[in-house]
Structures are given as structure tokens and as C-alpha cells.
Structure 1
Amino acid sequence: MRSVQSPDLQRLALAMREPAQPLTLFKTVEAVAAETIGFRLLTIMAYDASRHEVQRLHTNMPDVYPAGGRKKKQGTAWATRVLHELRPFRGETAQDIRNAFDDHSVMADMGLGSILNIPIAYDGVCVGTMNLTHVEHWYTSDHEDVGLLLGAFLAPALIAHAARCAQEEPRA
């Protein structure tokens, strides 16, 4: 892992200004996260609090975890910690992943044994998560700090996604 540097922040800031959003921003966050945190699997999820549901908007492994996938997230210790308390979740072993996620066997089959879930928040509300998965014992508390910094750049894209979804909902 290397520290986040000024050129990284500049890349992210410039990516936010580019057209073809949110893909341009997602790809830039993915690249900077690869260089500073490290991962084998990265996903970016939008959170819909009214449905207690996350939706995958971006993934570096679309064959295994395609964009558009949804998961209910209600009533778990993970949901309380990440979605409500806005605290990162770090699972250091395959057992930690097994305890927190229904799809643990898919991750285990891919050789993934540690996970870092970063809540993306704006105005005190979770709007999504950035999820990084790697081999066992990869992530540390330092990675949480870097993840929170990188994840902050995702907030505008996740807020825009929520606004688009709200406009598309049928009215009663």
C-alpha cells in the first residue's frame, strides 16, 4: 500500500468533471484504490434506505458480480455498522466474511478472505458503499482511512443515481 498523494486527489477531482458519468469516476476511483489500498474484487453499491437494499453500480468482475445486482440489507450487524452508523466494516478472515455475507462461498471460491466495506455518506446519510475484497489479512485500519477518503469522491455520483431513480419511480 502507498499513501494517497496530491496527484491521486487531482485525478479524482478531474474525473468528476468529465462526461460519461458515473463510469468515468468509478473507473478512476477503482484505479486509485488499486494503487493505494489494493483489492482483487471491487464493487460500488448504491443504498436505497426506503427499500433497505443495495444495488451494484460498478464492479471490476462483471462476470461474477454483474452491475445491477441487488441485495436486501436489513436487520444485520453489518447493516447497522455500515449503513446506519456510517462506520467501515473490515473482515480480516474468510470466517469474518462467512459471518457477515450470504455470498461468502462465492468469495471463498475466488480465494478472497478479507473485505473492507466503506460507507459513502452525505449530510449524515449513507448513499452507498465501496467494497474491496482481497486475500486473508490484507486490510488494516490504515486502509479504512484511505477508503473513506477515496469513497468521498463517490458521493455525488451516488446522490445523482438516487435522484434519477426517484424520478423514474411510478407515482401513486
Structure 2
Amino acid sequence: MKDEPKLKCLAQAAQALGRAQSSEAQWSEISRLVDSIFGYSLLTGLAFLKEQRLMRRIFSSDETPNPSGGFKATGKGPWSVQVLDRGRPYIGSDEADIRAVFSEAELLIERGLHSVLNLPIWGAGCVIGSLNLLSHRHAYDQADGQLIDLVSGICAPFAFAVEHLGPVALPTL
């Protein structure tokens, strides 16, 4: 994509997200946007519950390997520090990278998901979640950092879904 089509896509997404009247409409637009800019085979959206150091899956484009509603402990490893604490994206290129960050790595790899792009989502000055895009090997190696930041910023309205999660029964870990 040249710059002009990318800008048009980003502008359309920003307007559509602002006008979306439900979280389903927001996720539909977020899915369309990240697919047109980066591509993906699996997209998940996770809310970050900072106090508990947990991620809660609030969206999945495929419920089989990654159903909505599930929780994941974040720990304090390099991925958590980079994405959740520093708010910087993470790009994993191959199966070794998938294994380093996903507890369900073997299931993902079996499905042909060998690379990952994690986009931190900011709200009210801190990371409130992430978008996780998975695809074939090396799919995101050349991802443009400015586009990553723009898409992350445009997708911040998914905070609406985070703010309206209501009381959450936390899992016993």
C-alpha cells in the first residue's frame, strides 16, 4: 500500500470507530483495519488487569484456539515488560518466538500461526490491553513502527469495552 491508501484506511477506521454504537461494531472495524494494514490469520484483543497482572481475552476472531473470556497470567518476563509495562509493540518472527510468549504455543503453531505482532493499547496514560495478530512466519518483520503506533492509537476506543466489563470473577491461579 502506498501512503495515501493507508491514510485513507486509517481515516475511515477512526471515523467508523468513533461512530460505532456497540463493542461488536468496534471489533468489526478493528478487525477490518488491522487486516488491511498488517494482515492476520488470528486476531485477539486482551484487556490488561494491571493490579492482578492478568490479561482477559475480550475478542477473538477464532474462538477455537483462543476463546473470549479466558484469562492469562502475564508474569514479569521480557514480553510483559516490553508490551505491558513500557507500552512498546512486540514482533515475533517464528516458532521460537511464539513459544517464548504463548502458553498455548503448540496449538497455535499446529494451526500455522508462526509469527506475532502485539500492539499495546493505551488509555488514560497506561496500557489497558493489547491487540495480538498472528500469521505465517516472518509476516510482521517489516511492519512500519509509525503504522503500528497509529493503529494502536486509533484502536484505543476499544477501552469502551474494558470500562464496561463489569465485576470480573478472577480465576484462581
Question: What's the TM-score bracket when you normalise by the shorter of the two chains?
Answer: 0.7 to 0.9
Q: Where do 1:12-161 residues align within 5 Å?
A: 12-158=13-159, 160-161=160-161
Aligned partners of 1:46 and 1:129 also within 8 Å: yes
The offset of 1:14, in angstroms, is 2.3
Report the Cα distance in structure 2 between the residues aligned to 1:40 and 1:92, rounded to whole angstroms: 14
Moved more, 145-154 or 88-97: 145-154
Change in CA separation of 1:136 and 1:58 when aligned onto 2, cut-off 3 Å? same
Q: Which letter maps to 1:163?
A: E
The offset of 1:161, in angstroms, is 3.2
The C-alpha deviation readout for 1:35-92, integer Å capped at 9, x for no partner, is 1211111111111101111111111112221111111112211111100011111111
After superposition, the CA RMSD in angstroms is: 2.1
Change in CA separation of 1:15 and 1:93 when aligned onto 2, cut-off 3 Å? same
TM-score (norm 1): 0.86
Aligned partners of 2:18 and 2:157 also within 8 Å: no
Aligned partners of 1:114 and 1:136 also within 8 Å: yes
Query: Structure 1 stretches (4+) deviating beyond 4 angstroms?
Result: 1-4
Report the Cα distance in structure 2 between the residues aligned to 1:104 and 1:9, rounded to whole angstroms: 31
Moved more, 123-132 or 3-12: 3-12
Report the Cα distance in structure 2 between the residues aligned to 1:61 and 1:88, rounded to whole angstroms: 22
Q: Which letter maps to 1:14?
A: Q
Does the residue aligned with 2:109 lie in a helix, a strand or coil? helix
TM-score (norm 2): 0.86
Unaligned runs of 5+ in 1: none
The offset of 1:112, in angstroms, is 1.1
Unaligned runs of 5+ in 2: none
Change in CA separation of 1:168 and 1:40 when aligned onto 2, cut-off 3 Å? same
Aligned partners of 1:2 and 1:36 also within 8 Å: no
